[in-house]
């Protein structure tokens, strides 16, 4: 019994030692870093690998350096041309400075999300609806640059911003469809007018050539006769040359005198 009684304190001491060792040893993966505080003061960033801490004296905050995906909730945006739309986006970012992400901001995920929402509304509100629909790549770059600058103080690197959806109400969709139809009709009328203008110019040019060369008019008559003769017509009308008509008219006038 005395022997067993002496083992109890030894077992308790061994158990306490195991607890201390478990508290003191930390293992950080390749993509993790540990922000160490000694008596509440920042003393460095550790990792990856095996980390030893002084029990009850040092504390460590584990930070993941991998790229994170953040869905930005749908935002109500009034475009520059006063169109109400709902826009959603996704952001890809990662922590590049574990110290700043731990000390400078309480919750960098929530802070980045709120900043992304306000930036999305601010940037898109300066552009028309047509730009939101047709120039997403440029808008993505603009938002990414703004977020990257503003989150740098938190040790965050915003890599990519993608606008996912631009939702428009049904009445606006119908209005856009009518506008597109009107634009197509306008273009068709412009093309027809240009074609008629070119045709009129060619006809005027041909008339001027025929007026300068009467022989060309006779060749045109013969060509017309050839076309008519090739068709199955029961009646053929022969054009009467104007020169012959003028000669006959002159002779008739002299004979009457």
Reduced to 3 states (helix: H, G, I; strand: E, B; else coil), residue 18 is helix
Do residues 250 and 183 share a domain? no
Do residues 48 and 81 share a domain? no
Do residues 125 and 206 share a domain? no
**Cα 238–Cα 239–Cα 243 angle in degrees, nearest 5:** 135
5 in a domain, yes or no? no
- The DSSP secondary-structure symbol of 70 reads E
Mean pLDDT of 69-89: 91
Mean pLDDT of 65-83: 91
Do residues 104 and 46 share a domain? no
Q: Which domain holds residue 53?
A: 12-64
| CA distance linking residue 180 with residue 174, whole number of Å | 10
pLDDT in tens, 121-161: 999 999 998 889 889 999 999 999 999 999 999 999 999 99
Least confident of 57-71, 92-106, 180-194: 180-194
7 in a domain, yes or no? no
pLDDT in tens, 150-185: 999 999 999 999 999 888 877 666 676 677 677 777
| CA distance linking residue 16 with residue 44, whole number of Å | 28
| CA distance linking residue 117 with residue 113, whole number of Å | 6
Reduced to 3 states (helix: H, G, I; strand: E, B; else coil), residue 33 is strand
70 against 201, higher pLDDT = 70
pLDDT-derived band at 194 (thresholds 50, 70, 90) equals confident
pLDDT-derived band at 105 (thresholds 50, 70, 90) equals very high
- The DSSP secondary-structure symbol of 77 reads E
Please check the confidence at residue 222 and state whether its pLDDT lies above 90.
Answer: no
Give me the pLDDT at residue 113, please.
94
- Please state the pTM of the whole predicted model: 0.63
Sign of CA dihedral 105, 107, 112, 113: negative
Do residues 20 and 92 share a domain? no
pLDDT-derived band at 251 (thresholds 50, 70, 90) equals low
Tell me if 192 sits within 8 A of 198, measured CB to CB. no
| CA distance linking residue 103 with residue 192, whole number of Å | 69
35 in a domain, yes or no? yes
Please check the confidence at residue 215 and state whether its pLDDT lies above 70.
Answer: no
Do residues 189 and 235 share a domain? no
Q: Is 129 exposed, middle or buried (0-12, 13-18, 19+ CB in 10 A)?
A: buried
Do residues 142 and 100 share a domain? yes
Q: Encode burial over 98-126: b for 16+ CB neighbours within 10 A, e otherwise.
A: bbbbbeebeebeebbeebbeebbeebbee
Domain count, the chain: 4
């Amino acid at each position: 019994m005395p022997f067993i009684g002496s083992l109890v304190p030894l077992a308790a001491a061994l158990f306490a030692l195991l607890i201390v060792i478990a508290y003191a040893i930390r293992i950080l993966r390749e993509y993790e870093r540990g922000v160490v505080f000694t008596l509440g003061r920042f003393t460095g960033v550790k990792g990856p690998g095996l980390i030893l801490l002084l029990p009850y004296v040092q504390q460590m905050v584990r930070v993941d350096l991998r790229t994170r995906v953040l869905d930005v909730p749908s935002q109500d945006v009034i475009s520059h041309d006063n169109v109400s739309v709902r826009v959603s986006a996704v952001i890809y970012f990662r922590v590049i400075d574990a110290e700043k992400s731990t000390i400078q901001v309480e919750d960098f995920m929530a802070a980045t999300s709120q900043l992304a929402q306000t930036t999305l509304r601010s940037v898109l509100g300066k552009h028309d609806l047509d730009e939101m629909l047709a120039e997403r790549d440029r808008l993505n770059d603009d938002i990414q640059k703004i977020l990257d600058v503003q989150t740098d103080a938190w040790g965050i690197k915003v890599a990519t911003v993608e606008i996912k959806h631009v939702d428009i109400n049904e009445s606006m969709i119908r209005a856009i469809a009518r506008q597109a139809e009107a634009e197509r009709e306008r273009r068709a009328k412009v093309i027809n007018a240009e074609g008629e203008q070119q045709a009129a110019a060619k006809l005027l040019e041909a008339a001027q050539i025929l007026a300068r060369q009467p022989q060309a008019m006779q060749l045109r008559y013969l060509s017309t006769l050839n076309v008519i003769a090739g068709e199955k017509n029961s009646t053929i009308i022969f054009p009467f040359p104007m020169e012959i008509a003028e000669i006959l008219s002159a002779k008739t006038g002299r004979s009457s005198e």
